[in-house]
Structure 1
C-alpha cells in the first residue's frame, strides 16, 4: 500500500512556498505525483450581491480584478513549481465553480496537504480546508516545520470509528515510519479499548509499534500534544471530530485544540 497522488491546494500567494515545500517532502517520500491545484477566489461568490440582469461598474470592476488575480496567481504557481523542480509535479487550474473542481481533485488524491493558517481558519485557503475535511471527508496533512517521512509517528487511539479511519488511512505513512507509538487515555474515555490490540493489528500489517498509555482523565488534546513532545513525534495521526457543516463547520473541542496548539504536523481524517 502506498500513496500515489498527493494534492496541495495553492492560492497563488506568498504562503504557497512553505506549503509546497512540505507537500514536496511528502510526495518525494512516496515517489508520488504532486498535484499543485490553483484554488483562486471564485467569481460565482460575487453573484448573490450583483443582482439579476444587471452589472454595474463596481461589479464589473470586481469581476475583472478577480480574473486578473486568478491569472497572476496561476502564473506565480507555475513559476514556484518550476523552482522546486520536483519531477512528478503537475499544476492544475480550477475554474468556476471552484468548489466543484476542488472536490473532484480531492476525490482523486490520496491525501491533501494544508498549512497551519488554513487549518486555523485564516488566509485564502481556510474555506478549502473546511470543504476538504468536512464536506469531502478526505484525509489531510496539516504541515508544520519538521515534517518528514520516515521519522516518528504518534497515533491517537480510543477505539472509535474516527480514530480507526485515521489510523487505517495513514497506514502507508506508518509503514515508512522509523518509529510508531500508539497512545490513548482509557481513563478519560467513555469507550473501553486496549492499546495492545492496536499494536497487534499493526504488527499483522508489517508495522512494529509500541503502546504508551496516558493516565490523565481530562484535556485529551493537551495529553496528546504532551506525548508527542515526549516521544519526539514528527507527525500525529488522529481522527477529526466535528459537526456536519450547515452554514459553518464547527470542530469538536479536541480537534480544535490540536489545530490551534503547538505540536507536530497532523494527519487528520474525519
Structure 2
C-alpha cells in the first residue's frame, strides 16, 4: 500500500515540513510521489469577468493568472530540489484557480492516490492553502496524512496511536492505516470515555493481534471538550510519532463542516495525523 502518493505543496506558506515527510515516506515505501501546487487567482479579478466590466478585463485576468502560475511554479521548484536530491520517482503539476475551484480540483485528483499528504492549516497565516486539507478530507475518498507546520524532519511511525471510539469513521481510518501499523514497533489504542460496545477497544486489540500487530489500550475519562487535548497529551507522554483517527464532520447547506474534535485537531495537532472520512 501507499505505492502512489500525492502531496500538496503550499504556494503561500513554508512547505519544508510537508516536503520532508513526503520525500522520506516515498523512499521508505519505495513509492511514486506526485506533487501539486496551486496558485490562487484573485476573487476580485474573477468578479470583473463575471460582471463584464468592459475593456481591459481580459488583460487583467491574464496577468492575474500568470501571477498565480508563477506562485505555483515557485512552490514546485522547492519540492523538485529535494526530490531530485533524494532520487525518488516523482511527477509535478501546477495550476491556477480561484479558491472554490481549487478545492474541487485537488480533491478529485486525490481520488486516484493511495494517500494524500497535506500541511496543517495555520490560522495565523491567512492563506487559501489552509482550506485544502478540509476539502481533501471530505471529498477525496481516501486517507489524508496531515503534517504539523511545526514538524521537523521525516515521519516517525515507530509508535502509532489510534484514537478509537468504535465508530465507522474510526474503523475506516484504522483500515487505511494498516501499512503503518504493520511496521510500527508499538501501537496504542486510545479510548476516551469508552462505553460498552461490540467494537470495544479490547476487541480491537484482539483483532489487531490476529494480524500480528501487538497493541495495548490506554483509557481516558475527560470532558468532551477536552478530548483532543487529552489525546495529544497521551501522544506526547508516550512519544508517539503518528496518530490515526476518523475525520468527523457534518453537512450544512451542502458544505462539510468539521466536527468538534476534528476541528480542534486541525488547530492544535503536534504530531502527524492520518485521517479518513
TM bracket, shorter-chain basis:
0.7 to 0.9
Q: CA deviation at 1:114?
A: 1.3
- Count of matched residue positions in the alignment of Structure 1 and Structure 2: 268
What CA RMSD, in Å, does the superposition of the two structures yield over aligned residues? 2.9
For 1:103-182, what aligned pairs fall within 5 Å after superposition? 103-117=107-121, 122-144=126-148, 145-146=151-152, 147-182=154-189
Verify: 1:232 aligned to 2:239, yes or no.
yes
Q: Secondary structure at the match of 1:89?
A: strand
* Deviation sequence 1:115-163 (CA, Å, 0-9, x none): 1236999523123222111233432111132552442110011100011
Q: Is the contact between residue 13 and residue 129 of structure 2 (CA under 8 Å) also seen in structure 1? A: no
* Deviation sequence 1:8-38 (CA, Å, 0-9, x none): 1124345123321121122222111111012
Call closer, same or farther: CA 1:140–1:163 in 2, change over 3 Å.
Answer: same
Verify: 1:221 aligned to 2:225, yes or no.
no
Q: CA deviation at 1:198?
A: 0.6
Q: Is the contact between residue 4 and residue 32 of structure 2 (CA under 8 Å) also seen in structure 1? A: yes
Verify: 1:197 aligned to 2:196, yes or no.
no
Q: CA deviation at 1:202?
A: 1.3
Residue in 2 aligned with 1:26?
A: 25
Q: CA deviation at 1:49?
A: 4.4
Unmatched runs of 5 consecutive residues or more in structure 1: none
More deviation, 47-56/257-266: 47-56
Unmatched runs of 5 consecutive residues or more in structure 2: none
Q: Is the contact between residue 119 and residue 133 of structure 2 (CA under 8 Å) also seen in structure 1? A: no
